[in-house]
Amino acid sequence: MTKFYVGCSSFATSSWKSVFYPDDLPKKDWFAYYCNYFNTYEFNGSFYRFPAVSDLQKWYDKTPVDFTFSIKAPKIITHIKS
């Protein structure tokens, strides 16, 4: 059976409060809430600066077993000519 992965490239978009996130949900809990509705997340911050492994581990620890991450390639690879 084919499995589809659906997600966003951000979970911390302020305009999602009251639209997707409940008004009373603290921002620190947004990622865990996001993981209840999506099964993947595209991390775009790595385009500018690769995160610390400890930060990636914290996100990983908050996700369900079948959750998938994609990491955007750094701009030094995709946009900067030598």
Query: Domain spans of the chain?
Result: 7-78
pLDDT for residue 25: 97
pLDDT for residue 82: 64
Task: Classify burial at 50, counting beta carbons within 10 Å of its beta carbon; exposed 0-12, middle 13-18, buried 19 or more.
Answer: middle
pLDDT for residue 56: 87
Q: What 3-state class would DSSP assign to 27?
A: helix
Q: Classify residue 46 by its DSSP letter.
A: G
The arithmetic mean of pLDDT across residues 63-76, rounded, is 90
Q: Does pTM surpass 0.75?
A: yes
What is the band of 71 on the pLDDT scale with cuts at 50, 70, 90? confident
What is the band of 77 on the pLDDT scale with cuts at 50, 70, 90? confident
